[in-house]
Structure 1
Amino acid sequence: MARKEKSDTPGRMKQIRLAYQMTKRVDSRVGLVVLGVGVITFAVVLAIGFLIGYPIYAGLLGVLVAVLAMTIVFGRRAERAAFSQMEGQPGAAVAVLQTRAMERQWSVTPTVAANRNQDVVHRAVGRAGIVLVGEGNPNRLRSMITAEKRKMGRVVADVPVYDVLVGDDEGQVPLKKLQSHLLRLPRSLPKQQVNEVNDRLRALGDLLSNMPVPKGPMPKNMRMPRGGRIR
């Protein structure tokens, strides 16, 4: 086990170095900010230690707290830098939805609807209900989201459904705020119901994907067979 931890250390350090270099390209002050947070945090904890008469213990604790504070600040700034680089690129929204922080609270299904213009709709299911996240042209996305809501209404009519358009225009949610927007939604479903909703939607998706699709246009006088209808 010790050998494995030693072999993992260079890999982790390389990841941290690469993350710092990537963030530095977008956020030139990241090094100074993170270092400043560490120094200030250590100084505050050490000062408290002198006041209560335990400077040595406070110094040791200050180092740990300072490292933790620096890690949190660097993580947030690195994430913000990554989002700014992804902004405007196809699939950026789903990359945000599938971050580790989101995966703990949301089950994400990428590209539940798409068209030839690369407008896509992703679905996230969590304690708040169902969120349809669209990226692309707002006018085309609204009709796609409406169609997706109509389809889902057959199996989850009693579940709250939210729609989010990713962008910087009025009524849209910027990519860098997408994560916080979803995490702030009110929780209205118990965990057990979230699993049930996921199962229903997966079953609906499987059913629709397995339905036979006619080749070419359907004749006007031809009726759809009963087996092809969804009740």
Structure 2
Amino acid sequence: MPKDVDPEKMSRRQQFVATYRMAKQSDRHVGLWILGAFVLGAALGFGVFWFLPGSGVIGLVIAVAGGLMLGLLLALVVFGRRAQKSAFRQMEGRPGAAGQALGMLRRGWKTDPMIAFNKQQDVVHRVVGPPGIVLVGEGNPNRLRGLLTNERRKHERVASEIPIHEVVCGNGEGEVPLPRLVKHITKLGKNVKPADLTDVLNRLKALDASRSNIPLPKGPVPTSMKGLRGQMRGR
């Protein structure tokens, strides 16, 4: 996929092709998994619909159509899951990986990547949603402790009544692995009403405006996951 192409402006077919190519890079057998899922789903669907009331040509047509629909559905499910796992494998260990993963959150969430960082490329991302404010640290846990504490204090000054959660993305003890990050955040609860989120976001804009304009740390970032996120939503 060309780097200058916005996945949001791509057609559904182009998104599927780009996502398949991305998945193929780290999952050589993704095509066989998709084909196998389609064949299995089609066989099961044909068998189920064949025994429904009906006979002759009409019964055969219904069985074939039902088999194709079930096969296609199962193939899409397998494709989506393996593409997601492949994307996480390619992102893991790269600077900004957690920020890319947070981009898969559904509507109702506001993600601001890299609101704080240091020279060692330890970064803090921010997510605002039903649980409140979630500060996601990515990098060395010891260095992140200071970054997260500093950001918590800043956010408490402008939104003291909003719950603030701290999450460290990683594979160590007490950390959340990258593939489970989005699910972990969505399970933090519902503490803020949608009507109150607008006020919270406006106050955070004032906080961000007071930050110094320091260039973001450079580093390899994986291919945008907007296309994959759209497929996860069924768009």
Asked if TM exceeds 0.5, the reply is yes
| Aligned 8 A contact 2:137 2:167 in 1 | yes
AA aligned opposite 2:126: R
Aligned to 1:4: none
- Aligned equivalents of 1:197 and 1:185: distance in 2? 18
| Aligned 8 A contact 1:97 1:179 in 2 | yes
**Deviation for aligned residue 1:125:** 0.3
- Aligned equivalents of 1:168 and 1:105: distance in 2? 28
SS of alignment partner, residue 137 of structure 2 = strand
**Deviation for aligned residue 1:28:** 2.6
Q: Which has the higher contact order (CA 8 A, sep 6+)?
A: 2
**Deviation for aligned residue 1:41:** 1.7
| Aligned 8 A contact 2:134 2:164 in 1 | yes
**Deviation for aligned residue 1:168:** 0.9
- Aligned equivalents of 1:120 and 1:198: distance in 2? 20
TM-score, normalised to structure 1, is: 0.78
Q: Which runs of 5+ in 2 are unaligned?
A: 1-9, 214-235
Aligned to 2:111: 108
- Aligned equivalents of 1:132 and 1:205: distance in 2? 14
Residues 195-214 of structure 1: pairs in structure 2 closer than 5 A: 195-209=198-212
| Aligned 8 A contact 1:97 1:103 in 2 | no
How many residues matched?
A: 199
- Aligned equivalents of 1:187 and 1:39: distance in 2? 41
Aligned to 1:87: 92
Q: State the identity as a percent.
A: 42
- Aligned equivalents of 2:160 and 2:53: distance in 1? 62
**Deviation for aligned residue 1:208:** 4.7
Aligned to 1:37: 37
Worse-superposed segment, 58-67 or 152-161: 58-67
TM-score, normalised to structure 2, is: 0.77
Residues 63-78 of structure 1: pairs in structure 2 closer than 5 A: 63-78=68-83
- Aligned equivalents of 2:108 and 2:73: distance in 1? 23
Larger Rg: 1
Aligned to 1:185: 188
- Aligned equivalents of 2:27 and 2:211: distance in 1? 46
Deviations 1:45-91 (A, max 9, x none): 22221222244224213312321221222122112111111111111
Aligned to 1:7: none
SS of alignment partner, residue 196 of structure 2 = helix
Cα RMSD, aligned residues only: 2.1
* 4+ runs deviating over 6 angstroms: none
